[in-house]
A = this chain, B = another copy of it.
């Protein structure tokens, strides 16, 4: 079958100035990889910034350069789709700390060696600072909307709170304003799995033949379980055996769920940098929008003039409906316009990425 070859539309912005971070450190030599779709109008007021999740990237519509798979949100973004590239200018940028083109621990530090664990610990707000620098470079003062799911939703909330003049509409999917103890726990076990891998070498594995791919695979397996609902897992896999009619009384992947998780772990290790996983999970664990604003979440939105929409999924146990409701209550307390819907979908946290027609209608309706 012939495949249309697309040219990778990645563009790279190099910042003139070091980025000042929440830690107090500054990050020099910052590059931000991004792609855009659609046309920016003359008033420059039709831009939508899409923020990606933990293991996502700026390839929102374009094929992934390593896996060749379609962009992660092709079902939502495109001509005539809920995020309509015929009407809006869509921007999606790889977050700093990541490994898909924006500056992260695998990038070269000023001394010409990879940053590795010398890379400063970043926060969600630092990622957003990168986005805002990109908007500045594109001459966009105010976005039509900022949109994101999961960690993308954290960036979206952070932009709304810390740069309230930069977006007129804020759409947050399957996200939270604060990482819970359980959220932190799952991330911590993933980090420990990476750091337990001898190939991690305290982070200095660049240039070696082996990398901590086994540890990273375990981290991904743990995370992946949290992305799916118990109900969805039962429907999809139950206790069905993998390519065999009997249990083998061994440690092979007898069950489909085992085979699936192993595959998820290995394929992730082939496309993602372990140190980036450490830094980005750390940024998520540090995220607590109320804490940033005097301990009261409503304060975070005090200066906002945007309208908000929050969406949760009934089977999402990673960032459950109560986490979205918490944000909605804060917005109500701050007197801001907000709509909220809990959608029913069987896929758990990953629902925001999957085929949920009701979500398409909510997104299209809110963006107008």
| A interface residue numbers (CB < 8 A to B) | 22-23, 25, 117, 120-121, 178-182, 184-186, 188-189, 191-193, 195-198, 214-215, 217-218, 221-222, 225, 228, 230, 233-234, 236-239, 247, 249-251, 253, 255-258, 261-262, 265, 278, 282, 285-286, 288, 291, 317
Contact = CB atoms under 8 A, between A and B. Distances in A.
Contacts of A197: 196
A188 B224 CA distance: 12
8 contacts: A23-B249, A178-B239, A181-B255, A185-B257, A188-B221, A191-B251, A193-B193, A198-B198
B237 A189 contact: no
A215 B121 CA distance: 25
Contacts of A236: 181
A277 B48 CA distance: 50
A349 to B, nearest CB: 13
Nearest to A279: B251
| Residue of A117, A197, A217 most packed against chain B (CB within 10 A) | A197
A182 B249 contact: no
A126 B198 CA distance: 36
Nearest 9 A/B pairs, CB to CB: A196-B214, A23-B249, A181-B233, A121-B249, A189-B221, A181-B237, A181-B257, A188-B258, A193-B218
Contacts of A253: 188
Nearest to A223: B189
A75 to B, nearest CB: 25
Nearest to A226: B225
Contacts of A234: 180-182
B191 A225 contact: no
The residue among A234, A251, A286 with the most chain B CB atoms within 10 A of its own CB is: A251
Contact of A225 (B22, B23, B185, B250): B185
Contacts of A22: 249
Contacts of A285: 255
Nearest to A237: B181
Contact of A185 (B121, B191, B195, B233): B233
Contact of A233 (B182, B230, B238, B288): B182
A44 B179 CA distance: 55
A192 B121 contact: no
Contacts of A181: 230, 233-234, 236-239, 255-257
Contact of A288 (B198, B239, B256, B257): B239
Nearest to A188: B258
Contacts of A198: 198
A253 to B, nearest CB: 8
Contacts of A282: 251
Given A121-B251, A188-B258, 16 more contacts: A25-B249, A121-B250, A181-B230, A181-B239, A181-B257, A182-B228, A185-B261, A186-B225, A188-B257, A188-B262, A189-B222, A196-B214, A196-B217, A239-B288, A247-B286, A251-B278
